[in-house]
Structure 1
């Protein structure tokens, strides 16, 4: 069985499609490119957004200035996913308070990217561990194949018993063989 891993692959704070701070879990370096593409295609006039494809869920919480987004495994519930984002948003707002959203955006990006916000997102992501959806599906398929094999073997090769030839023929006839 697969050991539990982080179900949060990526989290970010963005202004439009400019990433201000991002957390990328191990082995998911391509998530940044995917997130930027998703941010560019967000529907207007939404405060929350969620889209699931290929066992990955892209979610966003949007306010007037910033977008808080994440790419997570589908095994994580929407409720938990939005809770994760809300915690990130609250932490960002408390760190960001007092800064003008348009002043020195690059300095703000460097400050958050290399410091507190990334660590906060990482801490929030640590509690969401489990078995990814693709692994759950693979394990279910293996279990079903094992059950099918056992059922086939029981059907074709019944357990040895002291049945005589006539009883064996009656058994096969009752099973439709």
Structure 2
């Protein structure tokens, strides 16, 4: 790639090996696709190897069926010093009809790392329009909420020890 890439879409067919006992695509398979798209997007933006720091708010809206054409779109919506917040939308449809429906949505936080595995700086992303600004503000709000939840979870970790 010659320049930073803010968005990437992975496309493929849901296969029989992706199915759970209920006959629909397994949530774990969807989560793997989400992680792959988040990696491709964050590496494309930063030009560096990236690791998953957080996967949250995963909403399974509709099931995905075997044979569906699946599109996993990942887009940078906020950058920190070493992290990138990536919005993920998963859509699926019967390939004969091509009427995509949202099936899953979430936010991933990816961190760029150097050869020693230490966090390294990423290029800053700046919103270009009203939608981008709203997405950025949403990412900041979610980041603050995650901090509060993390502090609350610390009480549970201390209790378990």
What is the TM-score with the length of structure 1 in the denominator? 0.23
- Work out which of the two has the higher radius of gyration on C-alpha atoms and give 1 or 2: 1
Determine which structure has greater relative contact order: mean sequence separation of CA pairs < 8 Å that are 6+ residues apart, divided by chain length: 1
What is the TM-score with the length of structure 2 in the denominator? 0.25
Q: Which has the higher strand share?
A: 2
Q: Which has the higher helix share?
A: 1
